[in-house]
Structure 1
Amino acid sequence: MLARLSEILSVLALVGFAVATLWLIARPRARMAALMPAPRMLTLVAAATAVWCAALALAGPGSSAALVVQGLRDLAMLGWLGATFWSPAAPMTRPLRLIVRMLATICALTLVLGAVAHLADRTAAEAWMAPTLTLAAMVVAIGGLLIVDSGVRHAGAALRMPVMAVAGGFAMLWAYEVNVQLIGALTGKTASTLIALLPAVVLLTLPTYVVAAMDIGRERMRLSRTAATRTLILIGGAAYLIVIGLTGAIARLVGGDYAAFAQGASLVVALGAGGLLIVSARVRAWLSVVISKHFFEHRYDYRAEWMRFTATLAQGGDVEDGDGRNLHRRVAKAMAELTGSPGALLMLPGAAGAFRVAEHWHWPVDAEAEDATLSVRSAFMLQETRHIVELDAERRSGQGGPESRDLAIPAWLIADQRAWVIVPILHFQKMIAVAILQRPPVSRALDWEDLDVLRIAGQQAASYLAESQSQEALSEARRFDEFNRRFAFIMHDIKNLASQIGLLARNAERHADNPEFRADMTQTLKVSAGRLSDLLVRLAPRERGAAAEPSKLLIEPILAEIADEMRARRALFVGCQTGLLAWADAASVRQIVQHLVTNAIDASAPDTPVQLVAVAEHGRVRIDVIDQGCGMTRSFIREELFKPFVSTKDGGFGLGAFEALQVAQAMGGTIEVDSEPGKGSSFTVWLPLADARADSGGEPMMKKVVAK
């Protein structure tokens, strides 16, 4: 059954490699040459492998005839490796060249001598040639693995995916053959099952030729660190099992009770090593450094590290032992995790220019201590040089006195052996923070890759810190802007009060003896004093705004009060619907209407009336202020009327209309204007209606107020 399966697999492999050979011949040479250095040699390898598969199908795996033809296959494979790795793009070392020549000689001798022996006496060849051919095949396979490993490592970035795929296929086939022959040598028995499954392994290498012939893989083929780490773990487990098996085999050969002891000792050592990896952070760090140094081209997995770094900076939830909203702690944590440091400090500039510890991650430091600072000179030197300082080098150079002379490193950092690296965080050539990283469990010297990563990470962190500082400055500027805006509005109201009091003073010179005028003057002064007190309250920071607490508001009393206040300047014709209720704030409505009435009086001739009418309309409260003054153009209303600091009055602030509109909108209302030059203006204030039943209230009541 197994022999039949092996025969079927051999036939399938023969057909597959024959088709692959024809496909490689049909592919354009220029396109193939763009993917790999030796496309013709790859075609010869596919053809030789097809001939070897034919030998497997006819004579069977493990036969001397198959081993002889295997020499032809190995010779072609060595030729492709030599042409690929013996080139300017992937230079081959001198020892590898000698190994290639030696292995090619062995393959050629095996092929010639085996062919002659089979032609002379096939039976005798099967008897004495099989061990020789097996030994030669093992030597060639081991040498081929060395060439693939060394060639791939020395070629570096020059290799592309097709080359890596084909070399990997060769390595897989040779590794399987070495294992089969090694098992046979150790056990003294032929591994017939594994030999019979050799055609299946050959079929697994066929896709590498397809990859090599297609227009794909113009980039290097890279394994992710996760896949590489898991592969190393599997290889380690396999190596452990092999060691256990070899130990048991040697113990059985020696005799006695050493087999059980050897297996038990191996198990104890394995469990101890595993426990040490789990418990000791230092051992894990050392293993990580060794793996990164010897198994990967770069120390860092840049994609994974950058994603983790950005996620740490951007996260808004809780971080370990700290609030995730604390950006300074997140920056310290992100910088530390890049280099495997167990802790970090972040220093920010103080008022005097010196940098102080603002936040820490797993490195508690007394931030109030006088010596926990970075002087102005130190900060200036770091900013100018943009130098990432390795403190161990400073200590070794003997400059750890009161201060390091070149970079002015503080003595407290030199003395603290936990301090490892100082990273200036620069934003547009200005140092906005300094990160101090704690020594990792396995200390090492910084190389160019560490410096590049820390420098780029510092720039990224600087952008987050600069944005945060900009947001804080913007928030503070907004608070100042709010205060200035409130003060500007109040100045506008003070100007109106000053004008009113000034008018009252001028009239007092002429009407001081009139008792009715004195009564009106007293009332006006009381109202002005009250409005000044209200303005001071509005200026206070605790004041939330004009429409902070809206409620049901009767409109008629407010209009009557305004008419009484304006009697000294002009007679107002007031009409208000009885019981009209608005959902608004009384002070805000009074402020809006007073401003509009004042503007209407200023824009009108002394003998023209000003009307003040309030009704409920379309489910809202409508308050009209109508004058017969100079009027305004439509372009002025559209472009300038409600803009701040634009005024047509001499000495005006240009804030009255803007403030009135802002206050009305804050209460859910608005202001509309209808005006025509030379015919007057009508300002309409719309406010929310508190009670819709007010529509059916009484008829509007009109009353005339005449100034005395």
Structure 2
Amino acid sequence: MVNILVSNLGFAFSGIGFVFLFLLLLTTKKQSLQKKLLYLICFFGVVWSLTSYSQFTAQWGIAPVLLAESCLNIALFLLLTSSLSNHQTLNRAITSSIQRGLLAALLIMASLAAIRMFSPILNLKLFLLFHLGQAIIGLWATEQLYRRTHRSETWAIKPLCLGLGVFFAYHFALYSDALLTSSIERGFWVGRGWIAVLAIPLILLTARRVSNWGSRVYVSREVIYHSTLLLVAGGYLLIMAIAGYYLKIQGQAWGSLAQSLFFALSGIVFASLFLSESFRNNLKVFITKHFFANKYEYRVEWMKVAELLDNQDNSPYDSALQAMVRPFGCEQALLAIQENNKFKIKADYQTADNHSEAQQLLSHLANPAVEHQWIIDIPQLKSGGEKTPFEINTLELPTNHPFYYVVPLTCSTGVKGVYLLSRPTSTDRLNWEDRDLMRAISMQLSVYLNVYHTNQKLAESRQFDTFNRMSAFLVHDLKNVIAQLQLINKNAVKHRHNPEFVDDAFETVESAVGRLNKVLHQLNNKRLEKQQTQSVNIIDTLQTVCEHRAVSLPKPTLQFNSTSNESVTYYHLSTDADRLRNIFGHLIQNAQDATPQKGEVTVKAELKPDYFVIAIEDNGTGMSQDFIESRLFKPFDTTKGNAGMGIGAYDAKQFIEDLGGYIEVDSTLGKGTRFQVYLPTINENQTVIEK
């Protein structure tokens, strides 16, 4: 009777163990050959446990047990041999002829065991010999895995080798004894279940350690917590059922009524107990204290903090407050940030009625907490039980408030502030681990809020930068308009009676009025207008610019040249016509300013296979290579004093590069300069310059 009870318990626990291992494997995502084989082991392990269990309870024969055991041995052999290879298919993992021969022998033994369930082929003693051979094969595979594994990795596979070594060694002794005595010793036979129970945790430990198995099993605190709740609930209901049954037996006539009342009362107690938040929190504290080395699962905590900070529905201050409150389960809290040497409440959690008391606490405790980076325990501070590196007059602190702790929000480069927290419900008392987690979270949140503040200032700075940039370009346009009007005024002394000059002057004034209206419109809208793209004839544009700049000496001359048989005069560019004219006009004006009046300024246009090249050459003063590299295209850097803005060359470079082209500059001091503007004839998607 005792043997039957022991055997049933051993095989029952082994079946539960294989099911538990299977469920844990389901929590892992990465797939591998070894993980699939572990699934197979769990399946055959459950079948083996059930058939062994049923052999005693249902008086089954031994044939189903031997078949299930053969299948389990095959799965274990495949796991051991595949672990010697990094390949993820059986064909590649089992390449040795010895391994393939042993696997074939195991498959033949399993096939014969399956046939024997329906036809009495061979005698039982031969099958016992087969299983002795399976145990020997299992021991050989275990030894091969341990011996051929690199010494630095033996710690990972040692539990597996130990568990399966004991499993196969036990079966080796069992079947050796059976062959010698021609009978299976009953106590020896029923102990197999307990050997499996011993081996399962060791298999699980190896699955946790070996990374290339892809089955790093993780048991979270939540699983332990909810499993404990179910276990406690089941134990409670079992005790209540036994007590109710006892009342019914003892009560005789009134037993049924007493049993019903007892069940109703126990149900109320059960519901109130398990719906109690304090009970659940105390259970969490108990599990954390007694089942885990650390009080917190830091990976989970940081992931939850990151998730809270990524929430776009809340303000950054609310997210930062929730990130601090959540790990400790505080029922009330608030966040205050230091602004102009004063702490201002930025976010609160269920503390709308306590702001006056909170302000008093902030005025007395916030500065010392931030300055010394000290977590202040307010009740301990009032009772004199906390030694602090600063002096506080506790008589001035308010008494009617829900706050227990002052946590500084500070780091070397972050925002400074404090949290006021009510008593945590996640722990019975705050220890060093709670304080370290508070400090770590507060430092992270300080940096997070500092990034938020920096982004706010950067956004404002970008707005001012955009406005300043717009103003610079508009002033540059105004300067060009003024230059045109000044030129008319200067030439009017000599040519005021010339009808052609008068017509040209009115045309110039009309153009200046249009440009001034455009500048005023952009100022009123506080933004630069988008470019008005149109088809512009490049040569016509260069001719117009050269004619306008001919009023200054030396007069620019335009030359056409083409390496192809096509004329360059027909090529057009899709861009802003006014801005293109301004760019070329500025480059030609710079060449004139750097060249004596008797010098030469030449504009050359040339069509090449991929680019339309406009070269502006002069024989003026020239520039040094250092000036070209460090100052020429630098905005607001000018050599003209108050007469220049220093953005003409910069604007030209930006505009040409926006079109997909580029500018090359060759210059020699005392000899002159050549600007070459390369405009692409095509880009990735469309034609830029076309006929």
TM bucket, shorter chain: 0.5 to 0.7
Consecutive unaligned residues in structure 2, runs of 5 or more: 11-154, 161-186, 210-216, 561-567
* 1:582 and 2:573 aligned: yes
**Structure 1 residues 377-423: Cα deviation after superposition (integer angstroms, max 9, x where no partner):** 7543332132323444567689xxxxx99289997xx4663444332
Query: Per the alignment, do residues 373 and 623 of structure 1 end up closer, same or farther by CA in structure 2, a change over 3 Å counting?
Result: farther
Aligned to 1:355: 343
1:433: Cα distance to partner?
3.0
Q: Equivalents in 2 of 1:481, 1:409: separation in Å?
A: 52
Residue 406 (structure 1) aligned to one of 387, 392, 396: 392
3-state SS, counterpart of residue 427 of structure 1: coil
Aligned to 2:14: none
* 1:568 and 2:561 aligned: no
Residue 472 (structure 1) aligned to one of 456, 461, 486: 456
Residue 427 (structure 1) aligned to one of 393, 411, 422: 411
Q: Equivalents in 2 of 1:261, 1:694: separation in Å?
A: 100
Residue 677 (structure 2) aligned to one of 677, 684, 702: 684
Residue 382 (structure 1) aligned to one of 369, 374, 395: 369
Query: Per the alignment, do residues 585 and 513 of structure 1 end up closer, same or farther by CA in structure 2, a change over 3 Å counting?
Result: closer
* 1:338 and 2:327 aligned: yes
TM-score (norm 1): 0.55
Residue 550 (structure 1) aligned to one of 506, 512, 533: 533
- Quick check: 1:377–1:408 contact (8 Å CA) kept in 2? no
Query: Per the alignment, do residues 310 and 688 of structure 1 end up closer, same or farther by CA in structure 2, a change over 3 Å counting?
Result: same
Aligned to 1:268: 264
Aligned to 1:169: none
Aligned to 1:236: 232
**Structure 1 residues 118-172: Cα deviation after superposition (integer angstroms, max 9, x where no partner):** xxxxxxxxxxxxxxxxxxxxxxxxxxxxxxxxxxxxxxxxxx99xx99xxxxxxx
**Structure 1 residues 19-72: Cα deviation after superposition (integer angstroms, max 9, x where no partner):** xxxxxxxxxxxxxxxxxxxxxxxxxxxxxxxxxxxxxxxxxxxxxxxxxxxxxx
Q: Equivalents in 1 of 2:471, 2:626: separation in Å?
A: 29
**Structure 1 residues 203-230: Cα deviation after superposition (integer angstroms, max 9, x where no partner):** 256449989x99x99xxx9974234324
Aligned to 1:36: none
1:202: Cα distance to partner?
4.4
Query: Per the alignment, do residues 583 and 316 of structure 1 end up closer, same or farther by CA in structure 2, a change over 3 Å counting?
Result: farther
Q: Equivalents in 2 of 1:565, 1:373: separation in Å?
A: 74
1:339: Cα distance to partner?
0.8
1:438: Cα distance to partner?
4.4
Query: Per the alignment, do residues 387 and 556 of structure 1 end up closer, same or farther by CA in structure 2, a change over 3 Å counting?
Result: same
Aligned to 1:598: 589
- Quick check: 1:345–1:359 contact (8 Å CA) kept in 2? yes
Residue 327 (structure 1) aligned to one of 306, 316, 321: 316
Consecutive unaligned residues in structure 1, runs of 5 or more: 11-159, 166-194, 318-322, 399-403, 697-708
Aligned to 2:655: 663
3-state SS, counterpart of residue 568 of structure 1: coil
Aligned to 2:434: 450
Kindly provide the amino acid, as one letter, of the partner of residue 657 in structure 2. Q
1:335: Cα distance to partner?
0.8
1:301: Cα distance to partner?
3.5
Aligned to 2:421: 437
Q: Equivalents in 2 of 1:226, 1:560: separation in Å?
A: 80
3-state SS, counterpart of residue 674 of structure 2: strand
1:670: Cα distance to partner?
2.6
TM-score (norm 2): 0.56
Give the structure with higher Rg (CA).
1
1:660: Cα distance to partner?
0.9
Q: Equivalents in 1 of 2:583, 2:570: separation in Å?
A: 20
Q: Equivalents in 2 of 1:257, 1:197: separation in Å?
A: 50
Q: Equivalents in 1 of 2:425, 2:301: separation in Å?
A: 19
Q: Equivalents in 1 of 2:354, 2:586: separation in Å?
A: 58
Query: Per the alignment, do residues 252 and 366 of structure 1 end up closer, same or farther by CA in structure 2, a change over 3 Å counting?
Result: closer
Aligned to 2:302: 306
- Which range is displaced more, 468-477 or 645-654? 645-654
- Quick check: 1:425–1:459 contact (8 Å CA) kept in 2? yes
Query: Per the alignment, do residues 416 and 655 of structure 1 end up closer, same or farther by CA in structure 2, a change over 3 Å counting?
Result: farther
Kindly provide the amino acid, as one letter, of the partner of residue 392 in structure 2. D
- Quick check: 1:424–1:431 contact (8 Å CA) kept in 2? no
Q: Equivalents in 2 of 1:377, 1:7: separation in Å?
A: 70
Q: Equivalents in 2 of 1:671, 1:574: separation in Å?
A: 21
1:568: Cα distance to partner?
2.7
Query: Per the alignment, do residues 210 and 301 of structure 1 end up closer, same or farther by CA in structure 2, a change over 3 Å counting?
Result: closer
Q: Equivalents in 1 of 2:531, 2:364: separation in Å?
A: 51
Q: Equivalents in 2 of 1:345, 1:604: separation in Å?
A: 71
Q: Equivalents in 2 of 1:422, 1:444: separation in Å?
A: 18
Aligned to 1:142: none
Residue 497 (structure 2) aligned to one of 502, 515, 518: 515
- Quick check: 1:615–1:623 contact (8 Å CA) kept in 2? yes
**Structure 1 residues 575-627: Cα deviation after superposition (integer angstroms, max 9, x where no partner):** 79666542212332132122112112113331345445668765876555444
Kindly provide the amino acid, as one letter, of the partner of residue 327 in structure 1. P
Kindly provide the amino acid, as one letter, of the partner of residue 221 in structure 2. R
- Quick check: 1:555–1:581 contact (8 Å CA) kept in 2? yes
Kindly provide the amino acid, as one letter, of the partner of residue 256 in structure 1. Q
3-state SS, counterpart of residue 409 of structure 2: strand
Q: Equivalents in 2 of 1:306, 1:681: separation in Å?
A: 60
1:343: Cα distance to partner?
4.6
- Quick check: 1:9–1:200 contact (8 Å CA) kept in 2? no
Query: Per the alignment, do residues 334 and 6 of structure 1 end up closer, same or farther by CA in structure 2, a change over 3 Å counting?
Result: closer
Q: How many residues align?
A: 496
Q: What RMSD over aligned residues (CA atoms) do the two structures have, in Å? A: 5.5
Structure 1 segment 52-131 matched on structure 2, within 5 A: none
Aligned to 1:83: none
* 1:673 and 2:687 aligned: no
